Amino acid sequence: MQLPRPIGREAASRKYDILSALMAFALSRDKHIQRQILRIMALITTRYNWQRDELTMGQGEIARLWSVDERTVKREMARLRAQGWLVLKRQGARGRVSVYGMNLNQMLEDTRSAWPLIGDDFVSRLQPAETPKHAVSNVVSLRTVHVADGDGSLWSAAQACLHAEDAAIYGAWFQALADAGVDANALTLAAPTKFHAAYVASNLKERLLSAVRRIDPTVRDVRIVA
């Protein structure tokens, strides 16, 4: 899913959608997840610049906002970065605090299971934010679409998810990708040609990563090579 940056005429509704998804997801989880999401929501609502996608706030300020010590702030910020929700845009230096961005698309994807708890109208409102099928299925595959037998691997499980989501796109682009292993929290997939690799990386990587992360949330990236 690619969510438009929350600016312009629909900015307010998009912001509420993101915060609503976080809230509903937190309420459906245990107290540890609830506390973590409450903390990220506090950063979003008090200091996040939506238009510039920037959170500029020192560890001391965050500790005061969260009512914790700075060691807790360091641990929690590291968890949020590892989770893919926070992105370090500029490392802090002497006299200057770090600048973070918010991966709003990842937040929505990770909270997708809680959308129905808000209501069908919420789900239908967010679904159009996904990549339109006609934009990525302009190449008709003449090959038989085949889903790999479940061999217990991460990629075979992700293939089943991708096929269930859209068999046409799976057959045209994902079926030909071969598992090249997982290393340093990244799954590497081999494409048959450089063009194939470039197209998937440019147009379908978020959909691909989303499916992989539903199987193994520790994976933070998918590399496409030829």
Q: For 89-113, what is each residue's pLDDT tens digit?
A: 888 777 789 999 998 888 888 888 8
According to DSSP, residue 87 is labeled E
The CA-atom distances, in angstroms, between 226 and each of 36, 39, 142, 212 are: 39, 41, 21, 19
What's the token pair of residue 179? 């598992």
Cα 201 to Cα 179: distance, rounded to the nearest angstrom: 15
Cα 31 to Cα 186: distance, rounded to the nearest angstrom: 29
For residue 137, the SS3 value is coil
Cα 145 to Cα 169: distance, rounded to the nearest angstrom: 10
pLDDT tens-digit map of 153-181: 889 888 888 888 888 788 878 888 998 88
Average pLDDT, the chain: 82
Average pLDDT for 111-124: 89
pLDDT at 21 over 80: yes
Q: Could you tell me the domains of the chain?
A: 11-112 (1.10.10.10), 132-225 (3.30.300.180)
What pLDDT, on the 0 to 100 scale, is given for residue 222? 92
Cβ atoms of 123 and 108 within 8 Å: the answer is: no
Short-list 99, 104, 92, CA closest to 16: 104
Average pLDDT for 77-99: 86
What pLDDT, on the 0 to 100 scale, is given for residue 130? 45
The residue with greater pLDDT, 12 or 103, is 103
What pLDDT, on the 0 to 100 scale, is given for residue 189? 92
